[in-house]
Structure 1
Amino acid sequence: MSIPDDLRIGVIGAGGRGRLARHSHKPGEGSRLVAGCDIVPAALESFREFAGDDVFTCEDYRELLDRDDIDAVFVTTPDYWHEEHALAALDAGKAVYLEKPMTITIDGCDRVLRKAHEKGVKLYLGHNMRHMSFVQKMKELIDSGAIGEVKAGWCRHFVAYGGDAYFKDWHADRSKATSMLLQKGAHDIDVLHWLCGGYSKRVTGFGNLSVYNQIQDRHDPAERGDASWHLENWPPLSQTGMNPVLDVEDLSMIMMNLDNGVLASYQQCHYSPDGWRNYTIIGTEGRIENFGDAPGNCVVRLWN
């Protein structure tokens, strides 16, 4: 049996979240990184150190997409660049892994989906939490009928020490992120939909910028800001170096009516002293819930 050639992958946004693409670099085993693009020279240097000096690197994503030795592309740039980069990659006929959120507007999402359909090109959205072990176990138990027919579900997301990081760079600017609900809730709402077996048809919600707006220490607009996660950053109001523009919510709550009749809710808080996601799903014959969400520190409990 002949071994198929490796899928040749390019990365637009090789730094930061683009490091996730490195998991796909398995030369001779089915896929390898052949090109990387980033506007930060240090990110390209790190990419070459990992993938080898023979990989192609550039600062203009159009140079990467013009190459015919690339089969697929990771788009892992900041959210507000997703639409432009994804549309260009799909137009070039490249299969696309697009980090969530798809784009920061509904119209932008429609344009990306339309383009993928028109071009007949594969598009995969980075909803990685479906692959987390505790979520998979909950899905397995629900599908086995252990709690009967699902009727309700909710998620509480506590963003703990280090949660201030989102308020120190572009994530805090509504014009570039839309909201923290989109940035973080995209994961959890996808999981709720998956576990509950339906998609939202009606939604209502509230959000508030209730804590971080009180901090007056802001970094210079010309600086990038320290958006690293520092677990020792506590309490929230003692933080410094916040983004000059800070107009997204740090607390949000929504309720959803799914197309299969299930009711669901989602709450998110960015100044909690503990950090984890808690999912609860209730059916006609039982309830399932996780405590903790990290490997080695997570328990899934079932009552029926």
Structure 2
Amino acid sequence: MTELRIGVVGVGQRALLATLAHRPGTSRVVSCADPDPRARDHAREIFGAETAVHDRYEEMLDDGLDAVFVLTPDDRHAEPARRFLEAGVAVFVEKPLAITVEECDDVLATAARTGTRLYVGHNLRHLPVLRRMRALIDDGAIGQVRAVWCRHFVGHGGDYYFKDWHAERARTTSLLLQKGAHDLDAVHWLAGGYARTVTALGGLTVYGANPRRDTPTEQRVTEWFDRSVWPPSTLTDLNPVVDVEDLSMMLTRLDNGVLTSYQQCHYTPDYWRNYTVVGDAGRMENFGDGIEGDPAVVRVWNTGRSGYRADADLTIEVSAGDSAHGGADAALVAEFLRFAAVGGPTDTSPVAAREAVAAGVAAAHSLRAGGTPVEVRPLTPELAGYFAAHQKKQ
């Protein structure tokens, strides 16, 4: 296999993901684009002075690329993704695929029409603790799954999501979509289905009163992040526009009858995800998620009834990798490079990525309508069939 020529659109917060694809001899980042001069300088620093650097991604189409990473802000995913798919370049789109269902469907339709390979960066499908839980489900450890609950404690939420464009509905739709797309995809994956009925409640309960800047920041997260600020109500210099919710709760019924819940809070003191999976013959739960090198344990109760007991019937310590997101990022990029080069099944799924966005959009509509149930429109059978045939492991 010849060395893959890789491009990167957007050299911002997630650009380090693309450094995992800079493997001279196997794959090499040869072209980048970003309208920000500082980001273009950063591209040369992390990928080398010989890398072609542009201010417009359209100029990258002349650089002979085999694959491209689209790492722009969320509201700017769809257009470059479509452009490179049209050019026959394999595309990695950072999650979420887009911020509207319509844009997601347009990207999927472009991939199907052109036959170009499309991959979406849902790295939680490669997170060791979640992969262990999925394996236990597949082995029948808790019987048939009936419910999945996810609580997401976003301890650094104020710094990560309320000081820049993430705080604006126009740029994200909602944090149930932007931040939640990870977890909604994981919940769907553990449950084996996609949300079809959604209801949600939530609000801007803390950060609505915090002091804001007059103009958007040109800083990066690493330059403003301060773990010592406590309590969250004392956080300052928020984005000029803050109109997304900092506390959200949603309920769904999936197309296979499984019921799920997802709760997201952006001002907890701790930062981790807790998944509980309830079957008709047991229950499992993770304690710690291993994302930041923290310990992670999966506990399973499945031998009979009891009162409270911390000593589970099965306790599994899960080792995380030594790279970002517990090794999930490295596994994600490796899978994409293999897929871009030779195709074949993948643990991520463009259809599942679209369904995560659809659930997040429905939840945002429901929340802002006082909890009114919203029905989720499924993907057309034609598009679903195309990806089922061309990316069999969904």
TM-score grouping bracket, smaller chain normalisation? over 0.9
1:255 and 1:264 in contact (8 A); partners too: yes
Q: Give the share of equivalent positions with the same residue, in percent.
A: 53
Question: Would you say 1:27 and 2:21 are equivalent positions?
Answer: no
Question: Would you say 1:113 and 2:108 are equivalent positions?
Answer: yes
Q: CA deviation at 1:248?
A: 0.4
Change (3 A) 1:296 1:242: closer
Question: Would you say 1:232 and 2:228 are equivalent positions?
Answer: yes
Post-superposition Cα deviations, 1:3-61, rounded to whole Å, max 9, x if no partner, equal x1011110001232122111011111x22111111122232223223322221111110
Q: Which has the higher contact order (CA 8 A, sep 6+)?
A: 2
Match of 2:122 in 1: 127
1:72 and 1:96 in contact (8 A); partners too: yes
Structure 2 residue runs of 5 or longer lacking an equivalent are 303-394
Output the amino acid matched with 1:297.
P
Q: CA deviation at 1:285?
A: 1.1
Q: Distance in 2 between matches of 1:5 and 1:74?
A: 19
Post-superposition Cα deviations, 1:112-160, rounded to whole Å, max 9, x if no partner, equal 1111111111111110001011011111111111111111111000011
1:168 and 1:226 in contact (8 A); partners too: no
What is the aligned-residue RMSD (CA, Å)?
1.4
Match of 1:9 in 2: 6
SS at match of 1:281: strand
SS at match of 1:219: coil
Query: More deviation in 223-232 or 240-249?
Result: 223-232
Query: How do 1:90-169 residues align onto structure 2 when only pairs under 5 Å count?
Result: 90-161=85-156, 163-169=158-164
Match of 1:241 in 2: 237
Q: Distance in 1 between matches of 2:191 and 2:89?
A: 33
Match of 2:299 in 1: 301
SS at match of 1:202: strand
Match of 2:265 in 1: 269
Output the amino acid matched with 2:194.
Y
Q: CA deviation at 1:274?
A: 1.1
Q: Distance in 1 between matches of 2:90 and 2:186?
A: 24
Match of 2:205 in 1: 210
Q: CA deviation at 1:178?
A: 0.7
Q: CA deviation at 1:224?
A: 3.3
Q: CA deviation at 1:192?
A: 0.6
Which of 72, 81, 84 is residue 89 of structure 1 equivalent to?
84
Output the amino acid matched with 1:219.
R
Q: TM-score, normalised by structure 2?
A: 0.73
2:167 and 2:239 in contact (8 A); partners too: yes
Q: Report the number of matched residues.
A: 298
Query: More deviation in 230-239 or 42-51?
Result: 42-51
Post-superposition Cα deviations, 1:191-211, rounded to whole Å, max 9, x if no partner, equal 011111111111111221111
Q: CA deviation at 1:93?
A: 1.6
Q: CA deviation at 1:102?
A: 0.9
Q: Distance in 1 between matches of 2:184 and 2:119?
A: 17
Query: More deviation in 36-45 or 57-66?
Result: 36-45
SS at match of 1:96: strand
SS at match of 2:288: strand
Change (3 A) 1:283 1:148: same
SS at match of 1:16: coil
Q: CA deviation at 1:284?
A: 1.3
2:216 and 2:240 in contact (8 A); partners too: no
Q: TM-score, normalised by structure 1?
A: 0.94
